[in-house]
Structures are given as structure tokens and as C-alpha cells.
Amino acid sequence: MVYFYKFNYLDTLFEIFFSYIPNTKRLSIAFIAISIIGGQYVWSNNPVQTASNIKTVQLYKKGWSMSYPIINLYPQEQLTLEFDDFAYDSKNYQYSIIHCNSNWEESNLMQTEYVDGFMPNAIQDYQYSFNTTFDYIHYTLDFPNRDIKLLLSGNYIIKVFELGNEDNPILVRPFYVSESLVSILPRIKYTSNSNFRASMQEVNFTIEHPNFRINNPRDEIKVVLQQNGRWDNQIDDLKPLFIRHEELDYSYNRENLFDGGNEYRWLDIRSTRFAPEHVEGISFFDPHYHFTLFPDKYLSQKPYFYREDFNGKYYIEVKENRDPMIEADYTYVHFKFPVKAPYVDGHIYVTGGLNDWQLNDANRMEYNFTTRMYELSMLLKQGFYNYQYHFLENNFTKAEVERFEGSFGQTENDYIIYVYYQSVGDNYERLIGVNISNSLKYSMKK
């Protein structure tokens, strides 16, 4: 599971108690103890979880499938959650919403303090797939809704589970609710640090708060920076460099640097009849379709070239049918990347929105000594995808993009700035502002 239990002051007691219990029984006993004592879930800095039978999970602002899962508290907007369940019969899926702090730890709040309504609630909107080689059931949920309304800003997670099995969710996804109480003015540019100017981007910004009082900015304000929705390279430890009247300035020249990376590669599997560019062949091995891609090339060895992309996102579409949500089929996509010899210091991953920017076994490539290529087969729903090859060195959590994709200061990227506030008397972190900016909309000069 993604989450684990935070024991607090009982750590030593559990350690002594478990030392006398066989390993095979410790986990179940731990959860019994948790249910008796009560406590807090920690979802880590990457609160994403998906069961093996759940595919194509999308969470976005209602009406805009390519948006980030960020909504305003006032006036309250809606999010849409969509996912496919590889099953023949519908299940009684329920959902709950949990308020978290900026580190994705469950807040010390009662449910009634952040939700108006009762939980869990049922997901009642579903459809069966039609004329596809894979049978699946497509579920849709719009929230907040008449059953629940959100009362506070901050980080949230939504978890979906079968009725009576809340401790084993089939999916967990994060989202954000903002109060929009401050103005965030970004300045994305080439870094002034000459050593990184060609390959990195500098994200400076100012927080203006003329109508919101902040007494101690260094302690009360926390800022998180994300690039294209990635989790592994986010920056979350910046303090204001200059504090002026009603203004906080974050004009660093090293602490706020991101690898520029490169424009994303693209994959078009909207049609099973016609092979687009980059697809070597489409095969049907009863009962499923297979897309074999041409071996990808090192973009790090080429100069930068602008290609319009979705910054890692994807959308579902099928050319031969009308309703992509239930008529788009699932196909096996075979990625290949030529490397003379396998790496011993880390692993290659295919990353992007197609796997929620995760770095795990499901998108880790394996080396084929016969073909002398790294290879990976992924099951994807028909649509148009962005992806990249990232390298994760052993014992590291931040992936390297430059080795295969290159890294350029002029690359077009989205940057999301989250501003959290918690005073001494507050018992939760408020999300008082969010800014989503694109690097091409700002001057990249000095």
C-alpha cells in the first residue's frame, strides 16, 4: 500500500511487542492495534495508489480533461474522477475524502470540520464497455456534489474502495482546494548561474498579500513547486529570500532550479487500422491488439527542437467509434530503447501522465540481451499520449531526464506554485493560493 501508519509515541512499545511475534502475524496484529488505539495515516509525498484491475484513472476540473486537479473553494468548483475496472460485473464502489497537510499526512481534523455531508458515498454512474477486446466497466464521479461539500482549503485525497473494505482502496488520488487569498507573480527564466544556463530553468516568484495578514512568513508560509505535475523532482523547502511590506520575494538563483528537460515524445494509438508515425506495426494476436514502436532515439545527442506537446498528459480518443469512454479498446504498447549494455547503477522508466509520473515496476524497462535494447510492454487505452524516458539511479528518488531526453533551458514546461499558510493557532494548513504558469509565456531573458 502507499500509506502506512504513523505510531507517534507508541513506537517503542510496538517494537518490543513485535519482537516476540512471528513475522507472518505482525501485520495483521498491527492493524488490530491501530483500530483500537486510533491514529493517523501518512500518504507520503506521492499519494498515488492503483489496484492492478484499475486502469486509466483521470482526475481533473469538470469540463476540462487536460487540467490539473485543482479547484477553488469559493465559489466551489467540481472535479471529475474517471476510471476503468477490468471486470464483468459492476461493484458497489464507495468513496471517501480525507483532508491532509502539505506533506500528505492526514490532518488533525474531525471529518465534520472539512466536509458538509456524510461519508462514504456510493459511485453510481458506470457503463459497460462496448465492442472491445478487453471487457471493462467505466466509472464516473463528479464531486463535490449534493452529498458532500468541502468546507476548508488544502490538500485532499479521494480514495475509492468496495463497500465494507475501506482499508484496501482500489485507488487513491490527490487533489487541491484553494482559497485564492494571495497573488502569485512568477518569473520563469534562464538561470543567472552560468554553469546551468543551457540546461536548467529558474523559477522565481513573488507573493503579494495586501488583504491577507501574515505575521511570521518564515514559519507560517510553506511553498511547493511542481514541474508538469511530476512528484519526484518537486521543491518544497523554500523560504522567502526578501520580506517586504505585504510582499514575499523568492528570487533565488540555485535553490529554485529545475532541469529544463525536453519536449515530450508522443504516441498515437487512436486507430487500430492505420499505423501513425513512430509505430512500426499493429498486430492482432487473438484476442488483443499490439502496437510495436520503432526503437526510440537519444534526444540528448541532438540540439533542442520545439515540438508542441501536452507536458506529459494524455487524452482518450478512438477514431473508429463515437464514445471513447466505453468504445476505446485497450492495446499492448511495446516500447524499445537501444542501449549497448545494461546499466548497473539504476533503471530506465517510461514516465508521464500515462502512469501518473510513477517510478515503479509497472513502467520499469528490462534489458533484452538478444536485441540489446531496453523493452517494456504497457497496456494502454486508445488515445494520444505523451511520454519520456527517465533514469533513476539506485538509492535515489529524483529521476534524471538529461541522459536520454537532453535538458534545455528553452523547453516549454508548466510550473505549479502552491502557497500554504498555518499560523500558531491553526490546526490545519490552508492552501491560500495556486499559480499555474507556462514557461513560454514569460521572457526567458536575463
Tell me the backbone φ, ψ of residue 353, rounded to 5 degrees: -65, -20
| Tens-place pLDDT, residues 67-116 | 999 999 999 899 999 999 999 999 999 999 999 999 999 999 999 999 99
Q: Is 153 found in the same domain as 228? A: no
Cis peptide, bond prior to residue 75, ω within 30 of zero = yes
Q: Is 433 found in the same domain as 342? A: no
User: Per mean pLDDT, which range of 43-47, 190-194, 412-416, 442-446 is the poorest?
Assistant: 442-446
**pLDDT exceeds 80 at position 36:** no
Identify the pLDDT of residue 26.
Answer: 41
Identify the pLDDT of residue 442.
Answer: 60
The set of cell numbers assigned to 355 is: 502512469
**pLDDT exceeds 50 at position 12:** no
The answer to whether residue 434 sits within a structural domain is yes
Q: Is 168 found in the same domain as 275? A: no
- Choosing from 108, 143, 175, the residue where a domain stops is 175
**pLDDT exceeds 80 at position 407:** yes
Q: What average pLDDT does the structure give for the chain?
A: 89
Q: Is 365 found in the same domain as 304? A: yes
Q: Is 383 found in the same domain as 418? A: no
Residues 6+ apart with CB under 8 A from 28: none
**pLDDT exceeds 80 at position 35:** no
Residues 80, 115, 216, 181, Cα dihedral to 10°: 50
Distance of CA 78 to the CA centre of its chain: 19
CATH number at residue 427: 2.60.40
Residues 6+ apart with CB under 8 A from 441: none
Q: Is 399 found in the same domain as 272? A: yes
Q: Is 400 found in the same domain as 271? A: yes
Tell me the backbone φ, ψ of residue 65, rounded to 5 degrees: -65, -15
Q: Is 392 found in the same domain as 270? A: yes
Strand spans (E) along 200-241: 200-208, 221-227, 235-238
Q: Up-side HSE of residue 103: CA atoms within 13 Å toward CB? A: 6
> Measured between alpha carbons, how far is residue 412 from residues 84, 190, 199 in Å?
31, 12, 12
CB 83 within 8 A of CB 54: yes
Q: Is 88 found in the same domain as 170? A: yes
The answer to whether residue 204 sits within a structural domain is yes
Which range of residues forms the domain containing residue 26?
1-42
| pTM of the predicted model as reported, rounded to 2 decimal places | 0.88
The answer to whether residue 81 sits within a structural domain is yes
For the chain, the domain total comes to 4
The answer to whether residue 89 sits within a structural domain is yes
**pLDDT exceeds 80 at position 20:** no
Burial of residue 374 (CB within 10 Å: 0-12, 13-18, 19+) is buried
The answer to whether residue 47 sits within a structural domain is no
Q: Is 80 found in the same domain as 38? A: no
The answer to whether residue 446 sits within a structural domain is no
